[in-house]
């Protein structure tokens, strides 16, 4: 009964209205949307760095873990295991981390007739990292066409490089052309053009763009990672996680956002502070029993911007669990979350 009540509530609360900017008739007007949180159940424990998509009646969430775990659901409420991407870690990963256990931060996207799963292999706290790619024609493990094919390394980083090659997110620009954003700590977040045919960084037009750098801010803190880009209206929105993950109830993760009218930036926060100068408007931080919420993914469905993220359950020894909310949007065009009204 609970699930039907929640979905009914969502349908009612997602009715939107345009706000009149009477005091400034030339000011840009934004569609105001009410934020809603739903309560996923089932196989939602030990979900870290989630990303969600949909194919043929089923929602899929990919997350950090051994050989990349996958859970699936018909309704975003009840989730069950749907296997793992790899039967064994790709052989090349041993060159980066011979003791590799978990594959990190998968990102799922569809372009050029195939699903593209970008993922990261690394050593914790170092730049000895790589972003790689696996492709598939379907996400349905019951399909005879289901087969993940590893395409190898897309981007490598080593000590001394300007970036750390983890936490990738694939985004399609207004022309449907693919770009990849990535980064963690060091000099922050970077964006490059992807060759649509190969899924690799385009050797001619990659044109790396520096997008966000927290270390350039007043506090000199370099803790920014897990970028995710979406387009809404005239703006591109960049979501990123600040501070520390992966410490259970001691985690201090939180999610910040900036926006730009150009995919390649510059991005600024609500106060006009550039993200290249440490800016970022706080939209998600700990609430109730949930500590260190962050490393979000976003999935747009019928005009609704669904955000998925992990948070550590203080009532269950800090186990990371899946959270799902429908973003709200305020009269100035900035995202808001229903969870942030909880004590």
Active site (annotated) includes residue 20: no
Q: Which of 282, 286, 281, 285 is nearest to 270 (CA)?
A: 281
CA angle (324 as vertex; 133, 118 as ends), nearest 5: 5
Check 107, 225, 269, 286 and give the catalytic one: 225
Active site (annotated) includes residue 202: no
Check 49, 102, 150, 202 and give the catalytic one: 49
CA angle (210 as vertex; 205, 212 as ends), nearest 5: 145
Residue 3 DSSP SS3:
helix
- Say which DSSP state 12 is in: H
Query: What is the DSSP annotation of 260-276?
Result: ESSTT---B-TTS-BGG
Q: Which of 74, 72, 67 is nearest to 104 (CA)?
A: 67
- Say which DSSP state 208 is in: -
- Give the separation between CA 14 and CA 12, rounded to whole angstroms: 6
Q: Which uninterrupted H or E stretch holds 4?
A: helix 2-13
Q: Which uninterrupted H or E stretch holds 97?
A: none
- Tell me which residues are annotated as active site: 49, 225
């Amino acid at each position: 009964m609970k699930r039907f009540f929640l979905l009914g509530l969502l349908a009612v609360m997602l009715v939107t209205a345009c706000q009149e900017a009477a005091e400034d008739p030339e000011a840009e007007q934004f569609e105001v949307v009410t934020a809603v949180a739903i309560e996923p159940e089932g196989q939602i424990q030990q979900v870290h760095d989630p990303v969600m998509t949909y194919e043929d009646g089923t929602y899929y969430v990919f997350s950090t873990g051994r050989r990349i775990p996958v859970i699936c659901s018909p309704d975003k409420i009840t989730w069950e295991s749907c296997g793992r991407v790899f039967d064994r870690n790709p052989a090349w990963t041993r060159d980066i981390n011979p003791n590799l256990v978990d594959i990190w931060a998968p990102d799922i996207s569809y372009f050029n007739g195939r699903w593209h799963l970008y993922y990261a292999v690394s050593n914790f706290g170092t730049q000895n990292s790589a972003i790689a790619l696996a492709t598939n024609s379907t996400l349905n493990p019951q399909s005879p066409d289901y087969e993940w094919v590893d395409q190898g390394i897309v981007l490598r980083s080593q000590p001394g490089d300007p970036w750390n090659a983890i936490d990738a997110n694939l985004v399609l620009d207004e022309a449907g052309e693919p770009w990849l954003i990535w980064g963690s700590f060091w000099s922050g977040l970077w964006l490059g053009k992807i060759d649509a045919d190969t899924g690799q960084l385009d050797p001619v037009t990659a044109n790396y763009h520096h997008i966000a750098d927290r270390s350039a801010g007043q506090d000199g803190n370099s803790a920014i990672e897990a970028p995710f880009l979406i387009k809404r209206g005239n703006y591109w929105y960049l979501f990123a996680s600040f501070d520390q993950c992966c410490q259970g109830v001691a985690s201090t993760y939180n999610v910040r956002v900036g926006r730009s009218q150009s995919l390649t930036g510059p991005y600024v926060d609500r106060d006009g502070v550039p993200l290249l100068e440490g800016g970022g408007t706080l939209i998600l931080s700990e609430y109730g029993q949930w500590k260190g919420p962050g490393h979000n993914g976003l999935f747009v469905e019928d005009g609704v911007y669904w955000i998925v993220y992990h948070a550590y359950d203080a009532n269950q020894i800090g186990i990371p669990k899946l959270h799902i909310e429908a973003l709200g949007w305020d009269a100035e065009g900035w995202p808001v979350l229903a969870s942030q009204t909880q004590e």
